[in-house]
């Protein structure tokens, strides 16, 4: 009887996590398709140089966004899963902390701008995009639904935001709007998503005004999240620094060509984030109650990530020129060589996202910072030399190698993570396929 109950519970949990993952993936696939189509439409209209300026401004702000989130997202989900009775206190505290983090981000941007060679137009683009980050504090509602494995409710709000954003961009292109209006869409996106999340939360019989601030909770959250703040900044640096360095060393047009390839390559990064976020509560529960199952889930997650990433990278490598010409036009053909290299970064990005859940579950949060910092440092150093020697392809090589080191090779040198290195090696070399 007991075995039957356990089997039914497992079946019920599987259905719940599968349904949750399906909702997230469905929204992300829709977003990828619509965003890619509209983004390409915008890129064609703007041309490499203006598209490069917009990408540069977005990347500049992106480097500082980790200050606004304060590394809280995964920690908040973990705490909501562990202590659901503290929900109102956790949500209220994390919401206010994120608002404070946004102020820190603005301050950091204002300090950094004078050290650039940006003209006034570029700085205006940066300021407009940065103001939209204020509304990311409402993301705590998304975290609440993630902890309850009910992401389908958030998908509705995200889909509405996607449709409104896409329509506005198409209207702007149709009316031949100036560049500043396209930067303003970032601000509009943030407002629409925040309103959608609030409506969804209230519609599901939740009460925002019952959220509470707790100094003790803030200390506990920040105690675990502070390494993730620095790790987030470092991640942003080596995800975005290439475009900033290209702008300073080669110019805005080259940023546009590079950004076009990166947009196609990174379009797939929603997949590991959706899968890992949805399965994270199950991994936490397995670690608490079934350690052997826990390790099996980690291995299966790595296997899945590698298979998906390689399935994307292989055809893209052989069809890169056709893809770029068909989507962007001949004006962007210089992007194809970057795409061939950059698409393979996805293998290690997928593994990195999956292993971040392991590090958080094992409370190895500081290690997230260490390995990411070394990866970012490698990326900056390699960018400095390779961009000068071989141009934007050098930036792609730097990005690929730095992710290879941070998401995979680093684990070999850390005795606490060597078992994870073995898991990843089995996945990368398809060891388990031949061992069966």
Return the percentage of the chain with pLDDT > 70, whole number: 86
Structure tokens at 188: 């509009």
Measuring CA to CA, how many Å separate 244 from each of 97, 231, 283? 29, 19, 37
Q: What are 172-185's pLDDT values in tens digits?
A: 999 989 999 999 99
Provide the pLDDT for residue 434.
47
Q: What are 99-130's pLDDT values in tens digits?
A: 999 999 999 999 999 888 888 888 999 999 99
Inter-axis angle of helices 365-390 and 215-249, nearest 10 = 10
Q: What are 41-62's pLDDT values in tens digits?
A: 898 899 999 999 999 999 899 8
Q: What are 17-40's pLDDT values in tens digits?
A: 555 556 566 666 766 777 778 888
How far is C-alpha 31 from the geometric centre of its chain's CA atoms? 14
Inter-axis angle of helices 252-266 and 215-249, nearest 10 = 130
The total number of structural domains that make up the chain: 1
214: alpha, beta or left? (left if phi > 0; alpha if psi -120 to 50): beta
Structure tokens at 347: 């293998």
Q: What are 257-269's pLDDT values in tens digits?
A: 999 999 899 888 8
- Do 155 and 96 touch, CB atoms closer than 8 A? no
Comparing 13-22, 72-81, 217-226, 370-379, the range with the smallest average pLDDT is: 13-22
Domain region containing 212: 2-435
Rounded Cα distance, 359 and 301, in Å: 14
Q: What are 289-319's pLDDT values in tens digits?
A: 666 677 777 788 888 889 999 999 999 999 9
Rounded Cα distance, 46 and 10, in Å: 52
Q: What are 272-281's pLDDT values in tens digits?
A: 877 777 676 6
DSSP secondary structure of 229-287 = HHHHHHHHHHHHHHHHHHHHHT-HHHHHHHHHHHHHHHGGGHHHHHHHHHHHHHHHHHH
Provide the pLDDT for residue 284.
67
Q: Would you place residue 7 in the very low, low, confident or very high pLDDT band (cuts 50, 70, 90)? A: very low
pTM value?
0.76
More confident residue, 250 or 435: 250
Whose structure tokens read 């001949």? 330
How far is C-alpha 209 from the geometric centre of its chain's CA atoms? 29
Measuring CA to CA, how many Å separate 7 from each of 3, 149, 281? 6, 20, 19
Provide the pLDDT for residue 372.
82
């Amino acid at each position: 009887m007991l075995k039957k109950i356990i089997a039914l519970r497992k079946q019920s949990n599987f259905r719940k996590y599968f349904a949750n993952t399906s909702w997230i993936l469905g929204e992300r696939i829709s977003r990828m398709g619509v965003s890619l189509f509209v983004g390409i439409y915008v890129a064609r209209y703007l041309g490499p140089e203006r598209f490069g300026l917009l990408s540069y401004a977005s990347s500049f702000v992106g480097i500082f966004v980790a200050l606004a989130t304060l590394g809280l997202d995964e920690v908040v989900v973990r705490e909501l899963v562990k202590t659901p009775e503290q929900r109102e206190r956790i949500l209220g505290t994390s919401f206010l902390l994120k608002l404070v983090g946004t102020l820190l981000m603005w301050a950091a941007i204002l300090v950094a701008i004078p050290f650039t060679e940006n003209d006034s137009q570029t700085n205006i683009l940066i300021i407009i995009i940065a103001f939209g980050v204020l509304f990311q504090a409402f993301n705590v509602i998304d975290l609440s639904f993630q902890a309850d494995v009910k992401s389908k409710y958030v998908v509705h709000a995200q889909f509405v935001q996607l449709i409104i954003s896409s329509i506005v961009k198409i209207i702007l292109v149709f009316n031949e709007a100036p560049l500043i209006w396209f930067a303003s869409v970032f601000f509009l996106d943030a407002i629409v998503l925040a309103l959608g999340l609030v409506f969804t939360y209230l519609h599901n019989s939740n009460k925002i005004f019952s959220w509470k601030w707790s100094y003790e909770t803030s200390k506990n959250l920040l105690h675990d999240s502070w390494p993730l703040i620095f790790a987030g900044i470092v991640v942003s640096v080596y995800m975005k620094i290439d475009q900033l360095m290209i702008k300073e060393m080669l110019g805005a047009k080259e940023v546009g060509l590079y950004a076009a390839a990166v947009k196609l390559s990174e379009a797939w990064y929603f997949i590991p984030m959706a899968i890992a976020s949805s399965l994270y509560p199950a991994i936490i529960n397995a670690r608490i109650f079934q350690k052997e199952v826990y390790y099996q889930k980690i291995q299966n997650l790595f296997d899945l990530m590698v298979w998906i990433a390689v399935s994307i990278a292989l055809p893209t490598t052989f069809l890169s020129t056709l893809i770029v010409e068909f989507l962007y036009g001949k004006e962007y053909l210089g992007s194809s060589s970057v795409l061939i290299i950059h698409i393979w970064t996805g293998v290690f990005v997928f593994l990195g996202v999956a292993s971040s859940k392991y590090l958080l579950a094992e409370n190895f949060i500081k290690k997230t910072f260490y390995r990411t910092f070394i990866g970012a440092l490698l990326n900056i150093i390699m960018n400095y030399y390779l961009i000068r020697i071989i141009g934007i392809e050098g930036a792609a090589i730097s990005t690929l190698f730095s992710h290879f080191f941070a998401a995979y090779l680093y684990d070999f040198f850390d005795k606490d993570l060597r078992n994870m290195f073995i898991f990843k090696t089995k996945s990368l070399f398809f060891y388990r396929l031949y061992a069966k």
